[in-house]
């Protein structure tokens, strides 16, 4: 492991970290009266000089979303101080990631699920040498994907839904089909997990794939605020 490689990796790490920090929303949406709320941790790390993101496969015996791919996370507990606490607690419970080994970078734009749960993505860097210890009651597999993969349109499919927000913004689902070159396993990453991964990739690298033509780096909140308005009109 050469000193030059270490320097290159450190500069690369700082560049991505600084890019993401600029989009931190802090507690901007913490006051919203959603019950329950949830958070996910989006763990980034350097692997062979490239930024990777850690993902999990939910255990088959779970009642909801069994076998689906997601980030470590879950619903908030009364003892959690904020969205970051929730994400760190869940990551430690699910994959054995100690919170003191996590460098939280930012909280990004939340999403509202079909069930009316406000989900906040918490982006962080973790150590490359971290070895996941999945809780078999919750997680059946842990794997990583190069973050830049989500900017490649080769394995990206976007399906538009037959509904729009009150601001006439079209809603959609993203799908990525990833084959791990080491294990040769195929993973289908879709829905909210895919959307969060794509968002982090665009913000970290400062570019977007052609399939995401409507995205505005200077105005990430319009779509969420329109979705929030639609939800409030019918539920809150």
3-state helix, strand, coil in the chain (%, to 5): 30, 30, 40
- Report the pLDDT value the prediction gives residue 232, as an integer from 0 to 100: 74
**Which residue do the tokens 């195929």 mark?**
186
Each residue's pLDDT tens digit, 124-134: 999 999 999 99
pLDDT in tens, 32-77: 999 889 999 999 999 988 999 999 999 999 888 789 999 999 999 9
Tell me, rounded to whole angstroms, the distance of Cα 216 from its chain centroid: 18
User: Strand 50-58 relative to strand 139-146: parallel, antiparallel, unpaired?
Assistant: antiparallel
pLDDT of residue 233: 67
Domains of the chain (ranges plus CATH)? 3-234 (3.90.79.10)
What residues in the chain have per-residue pLDDT under 70? 1-13, 162-170, 213-214, 233-236
**148: CB partners within 8 A, 6+ apart:** 50, 51, 201, 205
DSSP string, 61-75: T-SSSTT-EE-SEEE
- According to the model, what pLDDT value does residue 176 have? 95
Predicted local confidence at residue 202, as pLDDT: 93
Q: What is the pLDDT of residue 2?
A: 37
β-pairing verdict for 37-47 and 118-126: parallel
Q: Pick the closest to residue 38 from 193, 202, 186 (CA basis).
A: 193
> Rounded to whole angstroms, what are the CA distances from 167 to 86, 164, 176, 223, 227?
31, 8, 27, 8, 8
> Which residue is listed with tokens 């999945």?
134
pLDDT value at residue 9: 52
The residue assigned the tokens 């993401």 is 20
* Pairing of β 170-179 and β 73-75: unpaired
Task: Give the CA distances from residue 195 to residues 8, 39, 189, in Å, rounded to whole numbers and listed in that order.
Answer: 29, 14, 9
């Amino acid at each position: 492991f050469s000193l030059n490689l270490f320097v290159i990796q450190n500069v690369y790490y700082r560049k991505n970290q600084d890019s993401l920090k600029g989009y931190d929303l802090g507690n901007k949406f913490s006051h919203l009266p959603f019950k329950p709320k949830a958070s996910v941790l989006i763990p980034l790390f350097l692997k062979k000089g490239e930024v990777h993101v850690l993902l999990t496969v939910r255990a088959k015996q779970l009642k909801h979303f069994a076998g689906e791919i997601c980030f470590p996370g879950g619903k908030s507990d009364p003892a959690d101080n904020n969205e970051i606490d929730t994400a760190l607690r869940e990551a430690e419970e699910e994959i054995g990631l100690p919170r003191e080994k996590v460098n939280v970078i930012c909280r990004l734009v939340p999403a509202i699920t079909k069930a009316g749960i406000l989900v906040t993505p918490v982006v962080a860097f973790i150590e490359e040498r971290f070895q996941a210890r999945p809780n078999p009651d919750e997680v059946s597999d842990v794997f990583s994907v190069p973050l830049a993969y989500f900017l490649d349109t080769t394995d990206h499919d976007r399906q538009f839904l037959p509904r729009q927000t009150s601001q006439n913004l079209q809603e959609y689902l993203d799908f990525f089909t990833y084959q791990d070159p080491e294990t040769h396993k195929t993973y289908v990453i879709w829905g909210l997990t895919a959307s969060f991964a794509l968002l982090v990739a665009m913000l970290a690298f400062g570019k977007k794939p052609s399939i995401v033509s409507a995205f505005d780096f200077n105005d990430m909140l319009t779509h969420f605020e329109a979705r929030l308005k639609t939800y409030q009109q019918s539920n809150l």
